[in-house]
Amino acid sequence: MRRSFTLVDVLLLLALFIDAPWAIRGNSHCQWGNPAVIRPHSVAITEFGAVGDGVTLNTKAFQNAIFYLNSFADKGGAKLFVPAGQWLTGSFDLISHLTLWLDKDAIILGSTNSDDWPVIDSLPSYGRGRELPGRRHKSLIYGRNLTDVIITGDNGTIDGQGSIWWNWFRNETLDYTRPHLVELMNTTGVVISNLTFLNSPFWTIHPVYCSQVIVQNVTILAPLDSPNTDGIDPDSSDDVCIEDCYISTGDDIIAIKSGWDEYGTSYARPSKNITIRGLVGQTTSAGIAIGSEMSGGVSEVHAENLTFYNSTTGIRIKTAPGRGGYVRNIYISNMSLTDVKTAIRFTGQYGDHPDESYDPKALPLIERITIDDVTGQNVKYAGLLEGLEGDTFLDICLSNINLSVTSKSPWNCSYIQGYSEAVSPEICEPLRETIIPDHYSGCYYPSHHLQSSSNETEVLDCLGKFMVA
Ligand SMILES: *[C@@H]1O[C@H](CO)[C@@H](O)[C@H](O)[C@H]1NC(C)=O
Ligand SMILES: *[C@@H]1O[C@H](CO)[C@@H](O)[C@H](O)[C@H]1NC(C)=O
Ligand SMILES: *[C@@H]1O[C@H](CO)[C@@H](O)[C@H](O)[C@H]1NC(C)=O
Ligand SMILES: *[C@@H]1O[C@H](CO)[C@@H](O)[C@H](O)[C@H]1NC(C)=O
Ligand SMILES: *[C@@H]1O[C@H](CO)[C@@H](O)[C@H](O)[C@H]1NC(C)=O
Ligand SMILES: *[C@@H]1O[C@H](CO)[C@@H](O)[C@H](O)[C@H]1NC(C)=O
Ligand SMILES: *[C@@H]1O[C@H](CO)[C@@H](O)[C@H](O)[C@H]1NC(C)=O
Ligand SMILES: *[C@@H]1O[C@H](CO)[C@@H](O)[C@H](O)[C@H]1NC(C)=O
Ligand SMILES: *[C@@H]1O[C@H](CO)[C@@H](O)[C@H](O)[C@H]1NC(C)=O
Ligand SMILES: *[C@@H]1O[C@H](CO)[C@@H](O)[C@H](O)[C@H]1NC(C)=O
Ligand SMILES: *[C@@H]1O[C@H](CO)[C@@H](O)[C@H](O)[C@H]1NC(C)=O
Ligand SMILES: *[C@@H]1O[C@H](CO)[C@@H](O)[C@H](O)[C@H]1NC(C)=O
């Protein structure tokens, strides 16, 4: 019996037997607020004078179409249809109860003139632009204070034409932080699906201060050497579900964040309840990263069925003294790695502060991280796990890990405490104690996982063991 149980699990299991509906979670798909949203009103972007020749700038057409559709927001919402063609545009704002629909062979192209990406305030949880002090460019597709927003289609494309921004970044000629391809701020009920996203100037999809976000069945591509082109960055957001995506970019495939040092601490909006499954990709950075901005806290991250290849790191947690905040209750399971330099990496001394005003005594709390079921071929290091002196990372539980490694010292651990079971190559000394019932309350396992893998006999058997323990 390799699954371990927490008291919470046991209570949830008991609840199952007394038929409590709240204890039963959906198992295989992102939950839908409204599965088949039909918008009663629909217009095509061509009705607003847009020209899909790849040369005409259509910013006004997008803005006018959306302004017009605003009058239907309280009448069931509306759909903006983008037909086949190349629709060059600068930034435009979405509204509530809107579906932006891109047909097959529809391509929205980001303008290569930075004036078409206006400058807006930095995020309060960052205190400044992420890469330069001060304000930042607005994303190509932007939304704020909204509810019920859908960006979907028949595999149409949203192409940021980011290479010009990457060059401006490299030759240090930018005045403000680069824009995202899609940013939704303070929005509830977001679906982004069935599309391809190319060449974002900076992070590709950025939900920040959002709830109930689904990203499903999307392809995100940017060159492996493009700077900071993260795939999806849930940031100070909750109830996020990311499913069945292929992502190949120049920075983290998914990076979960929640604000930067003292700004993130005072904004105090965590990222929590983030589900990721069926993710495939490659990157010069990490498959799933948490941090380095995590000052508002990150918890309840459940990621399963992950396939990363040709990447620098599989799972990475990045933090630093000064961040404060926490990363806890993280469950990663069923990850397959091929040609990856480091399978699991924790970095306590990431550095990288917004300014000199951070409190070096604000130490992050990193605890209850479970990584189960990992296989790897041609991996160099199994784990480089560096906690902080005086701030040990706690209850790190690694099980069923089988990596074929090339380095002679595959594990390197410092300021780490936890348990392990069935790990090859042999794990570092601080994690060598086996996962036994005494540690059931230490290791983190989400309850739905138990429910989907248990039958009554097994459950009763485990309850028995728990009671004995
Ligand atoms: C969003 O709400 C905030 C706070 O109420 C307000 O300051 C801001 O102007 C709003 N922005 C938009 C675009 O509605
Ligand atoms: C978030 O949006 C709602 C409207 O949807 C608004 O009332 C609220 O003030 C906004 N909050 C912030 C912090 O922008
Ligand atoms: C994924 O999106 C494509 C179009 O991009 C669509 O044909 C396919 O049915 C979608 N798959 C699922 C499972 O939604
Ligand atoms: C969508 O288009 C992208 C880019 O052309 C392609 O890689 C991907 O396989 C397509 N997805 C589907 C589901 O057809
Ligand atoms: C920086 O890169 C941009 C875009 O490639 C180019 O237009 C510009 O001339 C470059 N500036 C300098 C100072 O190298
Ligand atoms: C994606 O496309 C498929 C096939 O058209 C459709 O069944 C599914 O509902 C779409 N998914 C979303 C989230 O729009
Ligand atoms: C977690 O988020 C999902 C949506 O992805 C939602 O259905 C579920 O109710 C949330 N769970 C909790 C405990 O809030
Ligand atoms: C993982 O993939 C398997 C096989 O495709 C599927 O049966 C299982 O439900 C998936 N698990 C999750 C959590 O999506
Ligand atoms: C693990 O994930 C892979 C890839 O998504 C899937 O094919 C496989 O069935 C999963 N295994 C289990 C036990 O869920
Ligand atoms: C693997 O990644 C490197 C960059 O790290 C890139 O040059 C190479 O083309 C990638 N290989 C494949 C098979 O994509
Ligand atoms: C680990 O994987 C190798 C193949 O890469 C296999 O030969 C070996 O039996 C596996 N070990 C365990 C304990 O599953
Ligand atoms: C439940 O688990 C027990 C013990 O592993 C096994 O003997 C039994 O066949 C299982 N029952 C079902 C219905 O899967």
Q: Select from 192, 191, 194 the least CA-distant residue to 106.
A: 194
Bridge partners, 302 (sequence order): 275, 331
pLDDT of residue 435: 87
Would 25-209+222-231 and 252-448 be classified into the same CATH topology? yes
452 within 8 A of 29, measured Cβ to Cβ: no
Which ligand is closest to the CA of 238, given by its number? 7
- Residue written as tokens 């699990």? 9
How far is CA 211 from each of CA 24, 164, 208, 234, 293, rounded to the nearest angstrom? 21, 33, 9, 10, 19
Measured in Å, residue 152 CA sits from the centre of ligand 3 at 10
pLDDT of residue 289: 98
pLDDT along the chain (469 residues), means of 10: 42 38 45 71 97 98 98 94 98 98 98 98 98 97 98 98 98 98 98 98 98 98 98 98 98 98 98 98 98 98 98 98 98 98 98 96 98 98 98 97 97 97 97 77 75 48 48
Selecting from 3.40.1380.20, 3.40.50.620, 2.160.20.10, 3.40.50.1370, what CATH number does the domain 25-209+222-231 have?
2.160.20.10
Selecting from 2.60.40.10, 3.10.20.600, 3.10.20.740, 2.160.20.10, what CATH number does the domain 252-448 have?
2.160.20.10
- For residue 309, the tally of other CB atoms under 10 A from its CB is 17
User: Which residues, other chains included, contact 65 with Cβ-Cβ below 8 Å and sequence gap of 6+?
Assistant: 43, 45, 47, 48, 50, 80
What is the 8-class DSSP label of residue 464? Answer: H
Task: Looking at the CA of residue 461, tell me the nearest atom of ligand 12.
Answer: 4
Question: Can 244 be counted among the known catalytic residues?
Answer: no
Task: Looking at the CA of residue 171, tell me the nearest atom of ligand 5.
Answer: 1
CA–CA gap between residue 155 and residue 235 (Å, rounded): 26
Nearest CA to ligand 12 atom 12: 455
pLDDT of residue 35: 55
CA–CA gap between residue 358 and residue 352 (Å, rounded): 11
State if residue 457 touches ligand 12 by the CB under 6 angstroms criterion: yes
Which ligand is closest to the CA of 216, given by its number? 6
Domain parsing of the chain, residue ranges: 25-209+222-231, 252-448
Q: Packing angle between helix 456-468 and helix 7-17, nearest 10 degrees?
A: 140
CA–CA gap between residue 172 and residue 162 (Å, rounded): 15
pLDDT of residue 7: 38
